[in-house]
Structure 1
């Protein structure tokens, strides 16, 4: 919901940093993989009951997720880079709720399962439309320059990261926060489904 509004604020500093990294010879795929490593390390930190460390690693993951695109724009954008970016993002998004389930199965497993189901619904509605958008030649720059069509929704990246950070800052409240966000994601996915069904 807030991603498009945040782009004008975050893109200029990210693009400047991306140009510096590209000039130093750093590739976009390397930034993507480094960010993914931070995301998986965050999941391990959650399992080891170190949520504040996990929060820092989540922020590092998201910084890298912004920088890899900036580096790609400063050098050469590739289909492989776009593929790695979206696939590893989804791996990361699934790893964090799963880690909370592992950290405290009795308290968190059911809520984490509901959240992962809602992520699956959101991902399917998002990626399914991206395929159809490519087929029909649709394009948008509302979320910045991307390798595939980004269809906005109620629950996007900014909201998800805010929730992940809330999990880390208030781990005892994981279950109620997860249930609430699962409901938001389910509504978002349903709204996308209805909108796309009418559009296509």
Structure 2
């Protein structure tokens, strides 16, 4: 919901750093993969109960997720880069709830499963429309220059990271936070399903 509004704030500094990385010979895919490593390390830290370490690693993951696009804009976008960016993001998003379930299965398993289901719903409606948008030659830059069509929703990247942050700061409340965000993600997915159905019908 807030991703597009934040673009004009975060893009200028990211583009400046991305240009420097590109000039130093660091490629966008390397930044993407490094970010993924940070994300998986964050999930492992969560599973072991190292909450502040997990939070720092999540921040590094998100920083890399912004910088890989900035490097790509400086050097030229590629299909492989766009593919790795979205796929590894989804891997990371799924790893965090799973890690909370692994950390305390008795308390967190059901709420983590509900959140993963809601993530699955969101991902399906998001990526499914991206395929149809490409087929129809549709494009948008409201979320910045992307390799695929980004159709916004109630729950997007900024909201997800805010929720992950809250989970790491208040791990005892994970179940409540997860159930609540699962509901928001489900509403986002269903509203996107209705919207896309209407668009494609037309």
Coarse TM-score class (shorter-chain normalised)? over 0.9
Report deviation, 1:84.
Answer: 0.3
Which residue in 2 is equivalent to 1:10?
A: 10
1:96-116 deviation per Cα after TM superposition (whole angstroms, max 9, x unaligned): 000000000000000000000
Instruction: Give the 5 Å matches for 1:9-158.
Output: 9-158=9-158
- Distance in 1 (alpha carbons) for counterparts of 2:48 and 2:117: 24
Which residue in 1 is equivalent to 2:198?
A: 198
Which residue in 2 is equivalent to 1:171?
A: 171
Which residue in 2 is equivalent to 1:161?
A: 161
Report deviation, 1:141.
Answer: 0.4
Report deviation, 1:76.
Answer: 1.8
List alignment gaps of at least 5 residues for structure 2: none
- Return the TM-score normalized by structure 2: 0.99
Report deviation, 1:167.
Answer: 0.4
Computed over aligned residues only, the root mean square deviation of the Cα atoms, in angstroms, reads 0.3
1:9-40 deviation per Cα after TM superposition (whole angstroms, max 9, x unaligned): 00000000000000000000000000000000
- Distance in 1 (alpha carbons) for counterparts of 2:125 and 2:187: 11
- Distance in 2 (alpha carbons) for counterparts of 1:195 and 1:42: 34
List alignment gaps of at least 5 residues for structure 1: none
Matched pairs, number: 200
- Distance in 2 (alpha carbons) for counterparts of 1:77 and 1:187: 32
- Distance in 2 (alpha carbons) for counterparts of 1:191 and 1:177: 21
- Distance in 2 (alpha carbons) for counterparts of 1:77 and 1:145: 9
- Distance in 1 (alpha carbons) for counterparts of 2:113 and 2:51: 20
- Distance in 2 (alpha carbons) for counterparts of 1:52 and 1:163: 15
- Distance in 2 (alpha carbons) for counterparts of 1:77 and 1:199: 28
- Distance in 2 (alpha carbons) for counterparts of 1:63 and 1:97: 20
Matched, 1:185 2:189: no
